[in-house]
Structure 1
Amino acid sequence: MITAPVIYSLIVPLVLVDLWVSVYQAICFRAYGIARVRRADYIAFDRQKLASLNVIEVINCQFCAYANGLVGYVREISSRTEQYWCPIKHSVRITDPHERYFGFLEYGDAEGYRTKLDAFRQRLRAPETV
């Protein structure tokens, strides 16, 4: 009970990030022809259907579902942004790279960057822009 206000205070920055990232992709992805990410593919509210959870546990599960789903949603938007602008691996080891990262160009591959950047961008195209 003591930490609940701290934990649930995260809802404010989470909602702000959600709103801002959604506006970001609505504007920028449309401008660059990048296929947009569906929030519903990442944020799922279904644990309230579990009869084994009490009201407090359902609230906790809904909070975690939103927070973790939002992180996945933001990560997918940021990975598409990275692929569009800078599909280059880092020179240092990354602990948990997104799935797109493994197909990025090797660090220092200047020729590949110049010759393959358009192909990376084309793979992100929204169906209506292809």
Structure 2
Amino acid sequence: MPTLDELRARMRALAQEAEAEVERRRAAFRYRIEKGRVVFDEAARRRHRELRVNLLVFLRATRPMVLVTAPFIYALIIPFILLDLFVWVYQAVCFPVYKIPKVARGDHIRIDRQHLAYLNGLQKLNCMYCGYCNGVIAWVREVAGRTEAYWCPIKHAAKVKGMHGHYPGFVDYGDGEGFADGLAASRNRIRHPKTGEEPDAF
């Protein structure tokens, strides 16, 4: 049976393969990243404009009840902005005290789909909104994961879905003998991550 370290190494290898596949798809869809900006070749941009659905046509094809839900979706922007602000302050104040490297917000919040010419104005707005909200969740998740790894790196008794990448290195539930050493090891891992290493997905 493979050890936990071996499983984590496999997961890292799979992540690298996935990134290589993303690079291949970039070439297939004829775009590149230049100074953080997406650049399509002219033929791709022209085809994208041909594929764009007119906004009025798009709205006419939308079920009325879907339109009714729009205010409920967009009202969430207020708590998301507040969450973004409060976690930014928390990290700025607390992480230097704990000697934990700060989580780069820009690594998680990507708002770039509005550059796709095959989307109409409303679709672009929706994509910007989703990119922001899901990015905030991903960023907050990593901030919270590092916080948990610092204060309480103990696995739960029952299986938990969708845990952050630091969770596999936590101390086993009920391992009282190993807790002190496990806590020290967990704090050392988040304070001194290996260069370029991201926590494994779990």
- The verdict on a shared fold, with TM-score over 0.5 as the criterion, is yes
Structure 1 residue aligned with 2:138? 72
8 Å CA contact 1:48–1:58 kept in 2: the answer is: yes
In the alignment, is residue 10 of structure 1 matched against residue 81 of structure 2?
A: no
In the alignment, is residue 88 of structure 1 matched against residue 154 of structure 2?
A: yes
SS across alignment from 2:73: helix
One of 87, 91, 102 as aligned partner of 2:168 = 102
Q: Where does structure 1 lack aligned partners over 5 or more consecutive residues?
A: none
Structure 2 residue aligned with 1:47? 113
Shift of 1:120: 1.1
Aligned-partner Cα distance in 2 for 1:59–1:47:
9
Structure 2 residue aligned with 1:117? 183
Q: Where does structure 2 lack aligned partners over 5 or more consecutive residues?
A: 1-66, 194-202
Provide the TM-score with structure 1 as the length reference. 0.93
Shift of 1:126: 6.2
Structure 1 residue aligned with 2:9? none
8 Å CA contact 1:33–1:126 kept in 2: the answer is: no
Structure 1 residue aligned with 2:104? 38
Q: Which has the larger radius of gyration?
A: 2
Aligned-partner Cα distance in 1 for 2:161–2:129:
26
After TM superposition, the runs of 4+ consecutive aligned structure 1 residues lying more than 4 A away are: none
Provide the TM-score with structure 2 as the length reference. 0.61
Number of corresponding residues: 127
Query: How large is the Cα RMSD of the aligned pairs?
Result: 1.2
SS across alignment from 1:99: coil
